Structure 1
Amino acid sequence: MGDGLVLGLSLIVGVVTLLPFWKSTIWWVRVTEFPRIQWAVLALVLGCSWPWTGWPLAVKAVAGLGMLACLIYQGWRIFPFTPLARKQVLSAKHPRPSDELTLFVANVLMTNRAVDRLLALIRRYDPDLILLVETDAWWTNQVQQALAKAYSFSVLQPQRNTYGMALFSKLTLLGPEVRFLIEEDVPSIRTRVLLRNGVPVWFYGVHPRPPVPTEDPTSTARDAELLVVGREVKAIREPVIVAGDLNDVAWSSTTRLFQHISGLLDPRRGRGFFNTYHARWPFLRWPLDHVFHSKHFWLRRLRRLPYWGSDHFPVLITLQFAPEAGQVQEEPEASREEQREASEKIATARSDSAPQAAVSFSAGSAGVAGVRAVRSSA
């Protein structure tokens, strides 16, 4: 590796390590948080390369220490998601099928047509609940026709802008809604799911717009949608699950703020990265697809499923409802500063948005029946 290349790459690693400290919502600042694993590996390689360059000793020492500092910081941010860290969610000791819920989450990639491979995965793992995002009319029709017999309840919001959503359930859905919380063309799903033991669980499906030039030049709308959901679930004392493609990584400042505002737990902590994107690029992967839940659950199973045709890997998780879990699992808490930050982010996003519509669905045994739109202030 040439001396000039080592210097140039070291400067890049230093800049991208420092940029997230800037609270700006500009897309090129926020996306530097995504590849923290890659930045850490690059910092390690560069740190080992500096002694062999022809630069003066003082330059080598400063640059080498700089790369060590970058490695330590990036490693500190991703460490909670390694098996060496403490688990935030404890494992269930014994199976209790009536208390369990298995959830399958997948971004289908709207232009992808490998529906048969997706359906094969669903049939293999037989989940109770399926959340699909990026579903247009074609995807909705294909999956609904295949799953209608096994999954009696569904909430369908096909869209052509890659933000369509579909929820299929074997379990009874109570009062499901499709809502547009921040942006008029980005839906989310809210419903209660009745477990086999009769306990109702709140379920939120989300897929906010990512901060990339082709979608949104800032993370304002994405951050606000997550924080609106976070504040809402914090006020719920019943069991809660929030899942979907959040277009944010597990170790970002926004995801940490969401956890503190919502009080929800991350079952990946202490278990692994579970990188779900990009499925076709092994060296550029990070965890974009998430499942968070309240302290009322133990974890029975968490898996990243095989590649099937999308640019995202699916996630499969089985949670076990256990009232005693809430007594030993500590939920995150937001500081006053974090509450203030969340309020500012939500207010900024809402000041840029027109009033949105919340569309309510009543799900019957044959699926969704009845639609009404309710205007709500932003």
Structure 2
Amino acid sequence: MILAYSLSALTVLLTLGSLVRRNEWWFRGLDFPRLQIITLGLLALLALLLIEAPWSPLRWGVLAALLLALWHQLRMVIPYTHLWPDEVKMIDPRHYRLDKQLSMIVANVLMTNNQHFKLIEQVRLLKPDVLLTLESDRIWEQAMTAIEREYPHVVRVPLDNLYGMHLYSRLPLRNSEVKFLLSPEIPSIHATVILPCGAPVRLHCLHPEPPSPTEAPDSTLRDAELLLVGREVGDTEDSVIVMGDLNDVAWSRTTRLFQRVSGLLDPRKGRHHINTYHADYPFLRWALDHIFHSTDFGLVKMQRLPHIGSDHFPVFTHLQLERHLEFVHTPESASPDDQEEAEEKVEEGVEKAEQAGFEVAAGIKPLGPM
């Protein structure tokens, strides 16, 4: 019984910790392992129900608290299963229009990973229109020149601080920019890709710093960067895709707030989690690599790709632009409270960046047409 009580108490405490609205990494880190906490809670529940002992008031109380904790954890992750309605409509193969489609690979390559050929093989097999690499330095940049004949439109940001990124495209890129939104060390890429049908699609490629004991002590800058982009996206009627390693999970409060503020859709909802990290430890996995898109896209295909030697799996997403879907999809709308919370988080991030000596207004570095 002591083991059952201990597992139950741990499940409840971890759940309560995830409800605390503070930015310190030890609270925000509890947003990540919800699937693992559910597993722990189910083991505790099994132990509580099967142990042959009298049902005391304490045992009933522990059971009630455990069930509440499990209910909360399950309601956070169930939208990313087949038990939930699809948020993004699937395109019927009979209505495929290749000139309106856009396929993408997002790959956090792990800077120290030297198995470059594995990603190159995936690119040559799937032939995505766009490839985004994260944690890519000059060594990775040199290795990826092998694909540049097929991907002549490139935005390069090679860095050796784990925040380099490269955007490769078969299709023309316009108005490409590298922005350092809240830190001189954390870039993001923003560009417009032109589909074969002539339609422009705005891309926002992000890789904010995670809250962790070895990187950022809190989630302030990560949350602010995501919501800065979400606010910008929410103010436009353009076709938009936001993609990258957001160092946050889809079911976190911040990411859900981002979706409401931006009005973007998540093609994983109603399907599956697509857990991408950690590639080497099956029990310690959650979804860190994301693609969100505007309501005028439908889904052709989305899948996690094989191991490329990184601590992340790449993600392949194939979309089709269909304007009529704007009237079919129903994104969550932001309430006045959501808007106020987003503004507060952005202000906190800007204030923290400026206190560190970074001029936020000067953090935009235009590259011009590619």
Give the equivalent residue in structure 2 for 1:88. 87
* SS of residue in 1 equivalent to 2:18: helix
Give the equivalent residue in structure 1 for 2:114. 113
1:257-276 equivalence runs, <5 A: 257-276=257-276
| Percent of pairs with identical residues | 42
Q: 4+ residue runs of structure 1 moved beyond 4 angstroms?
A: 53-56
Q: Does 1:218 align with 2:218?
A: yes
Deviation track 1:198-247 (CA, whole Å, cap 9, x = no partner) reads: 00000000000000011001000000000000000111111000000000
User: Does the aligned pair in 1 maintain the 2:261–2:333 contact within 8 Å?
Assistant: yes
Distance of 1:48 and 1:270 partners within structure 2: 28
1:53 CA displacement: 6.4
Distance of 1:135 and 1:112 partners within structure 2: 10
User: Does the aligned pair in 1 maintain the 2:154–2:169 contact within 8 Å?
Assistant: yes
Deviation track 1:18-39 (CA, whole Å, cap 9, x = no partner) reads: 1222210010101111111111
Deviation track 1:142-184 (CA, whole Å, cap 9, x = no partner) reads: 11x1111000100010111100010000000001000011111
TM-score, with structure 1 as normaliser: 0.93
Give the equivalent residue in structure 1 for 2:152. 152
1:331 CA displacement: 2.2
Q: How many residues align?
A: 361
Give the equivalent residue in structure 1 for 2:101. 100
User: Does the aligned pair in 1 maintain the 2:260–2:333 contact within 8 Å?
Assistant: yes
Distance of 1:213 and 1:363 partners within structure 2: 39
Q: Does 1:62 align with 2:61?
A: yes
Give the equivalent residue in structure 2 for 1:376. none
CA RMSD, Structure 1 to Structure 2 (Å) = 1.2
Distance of 1:101 and 1:36 partners within structure 2: 32
TM-score, with structure 2 as normaliser: 0.95
* SS of residue in 2 equivalent to 1:324: helix
Q: Does 1:295 align with 2:301?
A: no
Name the aligned partner's letter for residue 307 of structure 2.
Y
Deviation track 1:325-365 (CA, whole Å, cap 9, x = no partner) reads: 1011112211111111111111111112121421111344x
Give the equivalent residue in structure 2 for 1:374. none
Residue 366 of structure 2: which of 344, 360, 369 is its match? 360
Name the aligned partner's letter for residue 264 of structure 1.
L
Distance of 1:64 and 1:31 partners within structure 2: 25
Give the equivalent residue in structure 1 for 2:34. 36
Distance of 1:341 and 1:262 partners within structure 2: 14
User: Does the aligned pair in 2 maintain the 1:241–1:292 contact within 8 Å?
Assistant: yes
Bigger mean CA deviation after superposition, 192-201 or 17-26 = 17-26
Bigger mean CA deviation after superposition, 156-165 or 63-72 = 63-72
Distance of 1:243 and 1:309 partners within structure 2: 21
Give the equivalent residue in structure 1 for 2:136. 135
Bigger mean CA deviation after superposition, 281-290 or 59-68 = 59-68
Residue 45 of structure 1: which of 39, 43, 46 is its match? 43
1:327-342 equivalence runs, <5 A: 327-342=327-342
Distance of 1:245 and 1:231 partners within structure 2: 19
Distance of 1:71 and 1:133 partners within structure 2: 35
